[in-house]
Structure 1
Amino acid sequence: MPGRSASVELAGGRVRGRDGAYLGIPYATAQRFGAPRRATWSGELEAFAPGPPAPQPKRPISAFAHGVTPPGAEDCLTLNVWTPPEPGPWPVLVWAIGGGWTIGWAGSSIYDGAALARAANVVVVNFTYRLGSLGWVGGNWGLLDHVAVLEWVRENIAAFGGDASRVTLGGQSAGAANVADLLVCPAAEGLFGRAILHSPPLPEAANDPERSARWAADLWERVARDAPADEVVAAHEALLREDAWRGTRGAAWPTLDAATLPVSPLDAPDARPEIPVLVGTTRDEATFLFRAVERDPPVPDEVVRKVTAELFTEPTRRWAFQRAAAGGEVHLFRLDHPSHDPRLGALHTIDVPLLFGTFRTSDVARHYVHDDARTREVSEAMQTAWGRFLHGDDPGLATVPGIVYTSTP
């Protein structure tokens, strides 16, 4: 095979990657409706391709958002690492992917971390975590997967030139809400020192336990708890078509729980104020929800704007200002750089290919934005600014084209 390969020794075993990319490394093993357990293997693991996605439905939005997704597997807890060309120690970005807690895959080309690792001189890590009812019914299993990744990073990242004392936890959409949850999660204490939140749907960051219990009861009336994963996924989707849940997301996402999520992050903006935060939204978030895939009848502009404001913009700004007022360092932005599709504008997730630079290489990323001069300018400026933040400096958001920067107290 072409490319330069190298192997590293980790706590779980030895892995071999290529050209600074180590893909599909098991960070834990998934126990159905249980906390993740340490992963080990014998011999040398060839880390040349991403691991499988979590079991998930084939929704119309999936192909637009993440591209063709391979068949899922319950033993899906793997991560990918990209390193800069020069030896470290470098800061580390651990990135939690989006997907509404139900779809998504860290192996999607939109999340390839190679360009960002080179541009910002950081070690980039992303990971697959459990989704849907298999990830969130009966416990915050998907959130504990995030904790397991951070513990893995603390133990292993030095082997890749990463500095375990300079870890930033970032994420987009549901992944960003998970970052907010981990700011209040007792088990995540001390595992990351900076946070990046892109488009967090904060009103949904902490589900009501009673609602979650109703969902679980209705689900188990349709399918056995030990049924094959694809049957659980199918039952999840069927339940969303029933009168009690039609038109909702259901109730399989992070839920208030004394041990893992004792309070909604909306109610605790001052949690761990020593952690600097870079947080923001896009100007036209909800066009992704209503126009990325055609709707019949079309959703009016006023509805799109209302969802953008109520689910993303307003709660994010309120949380950011409250956190700053409590003494936290907060850098607040709005991304206005638009898609090539005038119906979509600066849609939800457009920030991902801009930050990662994957619009140059990924057909999926080009669903959001084309490779043109203005896009390259915005992307390169974002990578520089976000890189400054990852290295512990002020990002200088006011200098980034396509970004509206808001000063917080």
Structure 2
Amino acid sequence: MICTTLVQAQTFHKKDLEPKQDSIEKKAFLKSLGNGFYPTKYINLDLRYLIKFNQYEGVRTGIGGETNDVFSEKHRLNSYVVYGFRDRRFKYSIGGGFRLAEKSNTWINLSYTDDLQETGSAKFLTDKRFFQFFEPRLLNIDLFHKHITKSISLEHTLGSKLLLGSEFATSKIDPTYAYTFDLKDENFETYDITAAKIAIQWSPFNNLIITDSEQPEHSEGYPQFTLQYTKSFKNILNGNFNFSKLDFRTIYKIGNETDAFSEITLVSGFAIGETPLTHLYHAYPNNITKEKILQRFSVAGLNSFETMFFNEFFSDRFATIQFKHYLKPFNVSKTLKPQLVLITRYAIGDMKYPERHQKITFGSLEKGYTESGFELNKLFYGFGLSFTYRYGTYHLPNIEDNIAFKFTFNVSL
């Protein structure tokens, strides 16, 4: 009798644990997919490189991946290779890293990359990995520069509130468009840049939480602050220019995401010295230069200026502020819960030496650029609609040129 009861208790205990374990594994799998990885035993395949499209490469497709903790908890390898069908060229990257300290998650990384980068774009070293099934704004970009970059970087965390990153890199830059950087004593159509970066992200209201998998995760709090400094060096490892850049971003959310809430994002940048156009700033425009509204109909980005035309403005100092107010989703049915988002964006900027940038024309943001509108998201399988209107100083004479009417796409796992 005692033996029978013991066996029954053990059987019950085993059956009781199996659904919980399956749930944890399913949750981990979905989280991995949400981050853009398809996990296998030793390698996580990177879904970001499967297929993309832009105006320069056309269809861009390839494969990438990185080793996981089963392969090694102290070492990692990562690589990708892609091919652009319009420019008929392979691009690739290979890299790896090793962990110096487990408690602070300190890693040293090395990489070699031969690829394209959007001119005027800026990225923070501390930005966490971000994945979308497709990147709406990427569809419309046409101004890229080729770069061959060798880099060594260090990443380090201090609890849940502080993230540090640093990088030293050399890059060979070759714009894919007609461009000359005129410094009077010498003109550059291609050039080398040797630069160091240091970044810090401070999230004072983040907290650590323990999940069902017993692995600590971050509960994000707001506001969050990110600051990055870049310094390039002339005559070091063939570097052609001396310049400095300081970039700042803060994000603040008010309210609960399960109800109505607001989000405010402030981004600013400042560059001084001999800074080529490739390393200056745009305000993340997302409007195609076409004559009719329907010809410009595309997909809205997440934080881009929808009425601002590509390559319309460049700055060596700029600031943007974006306000979004998310209304509580409308509970139409179990599967249909659209959400209305009210949006206002403002950008201001200037350039000290526009005459240095030859063979390309662009405007200044010194008078301040404003657009407002709304999104009605998740109307059908993640798709919605966006309407934005450009007004103020940079309002255009033709009314329809101030209007952006687009799809939106929002899917979360």
Q: What is the TM-score normalised by the length of structure 1?
A: 0.31
Larger Rg: 2
Greater per-residue strand proportion = 2
Q: What is the TM-score normalised by the length of structure 2?
A: 0.31
Greater per-residue helix proportion = 1
Which protein, 1 or 2, shows the higher relative CO under an 8 Å CA cutoff with sep ≥ 6?
A: 1
